[in-house]
Structure 1
Amino acid sequence: MQSSDEFFEDLNVAVKATDCVENDFFAAVRSQQLSVDDVQKFADQYYLYIRTFPKILAGLSHRVDNEEIRKELAKTVVSELGGGGEGGMGHYKMFENACAPLGINIAEAGTIEYLPETTALVEGIRTLFLEGSIEAALGGHYTIELSGLPMIKSLYEGFRPLPGSDVESLEYFYLHLLIEREHVEWIHAAVEQATGGQEARDEIRRGALHIAELLGNFWGALHREIVQQPVAA
């Protein structure tokens, strides 16, 4: 069986080869192709994902028997809700603040019609974390955190030049540029606790690649609907 380092190295390669780490939507955002109207469409879809994730992750933490794993998951839950020395503001609220100076009023989560890929992502995370094997759920969480920093870097480059954005409003991005590596370290420690046998490792990889596919589909749908903007028949 592979060593722990070899297992994570292979897992990282597999996840980074998917569209959840680099994709056409990220490239378009970095090249500043999105208008404020485009950002409104993006924000409404993205908000459902970031608004529901902490609650789902807390549910996974509740299911875990291993206290060391639960501790690592709890660190991310607390961080997402604004604890851990981050000023007490939930990350979803920081994202609202990044959008507000642009004149963007994000739809409350669950109140609009979402793209099928948005719904599939959120429901896929919920099902995996709350009903799937613990190992697969940990793998899915690992993918979310591993892809977080590339995502934030791209979104920051898109928001930064928009009229109304300033140092204060961009706090959401500055914070995540600093803490995403910690989030990866925490879930890495949690996953490492669950890598005892080959069956567990297979489940971790399955969960990681399942969420990678859902995330890739989500970003692909945003590129299709916002960047490509198909002309109605």
Structure 2
Amino acid sequence: MAFDMKKEEDVKEFIDNLGIEYRFGCFSEGKPDSCHLLGDYLEGVKKDFEKAAKVYRSNCDESSFAKSCYKYANYNFLGKGCKQNMEEAYCYYLKGCTAGDYDSCLNGGLMCVSHTPTNDHRPKNYEKGLELLDKACTGNNAFSCYYISGIFIQGVKDAVSKDMNKAFDYSMKACNLGNMYACANISQMYRKGDGVKKDETKSDEFKKKALDMQDQFKEQMQLQFQQGSQQQL
């Protein structure tokens, strides 16, 4: 059946059919990807966060579907669709990370090494945190590589020794993955000879790379702002 997406009733029918399709794929055929799509459908279309949370949790527990683990962990972290539970959030970030979701590794790692207003009760565990952040970095999560580099640049009293060689390696990977702040750090390291042999030419090269990324970011934000303004007209 062809749907005319300009007609409101056809759009509604199409969306309702999606829900039926995802439910069938999840509950009747036992497809983990369909279950995750059902969770997204309940979240994004129906705005039924409680049911979405249950679907994500079940799909994580029963099928180890990484993105469902990540979504359910986020729900617990934010108190969305369920009571806020930081221990549950951490547990499901670990499940998501083990299943191969690198955003889960990042968030789980951050919970180990940082304090937030909702996470003050959790004692810091830099050993586990660095393990999770390193796994996220290995999975090409640029922010995770940059965050680890910052830890080694500063060091942490009685926990992590300052190590500019490691800081350089993580910064270089983050820069290559598109993190402009890491590129700026690389420029400074080459200029000072921190963690790498001093090289003014290399320093200028990475400074230019960071500035080019900054200009691209500004252009992108300006374009998005213009598009948003046009839609409101």
Q: TM-score, normalised by structure 2?
A: 0.25
Q: TM-score, normalised by structure 1?
A: 0.25
Whichever of the two has the greater Rg, that structure is 2
The structure with higher relative contact order (CA 8 Å, sep 6+) is: 1
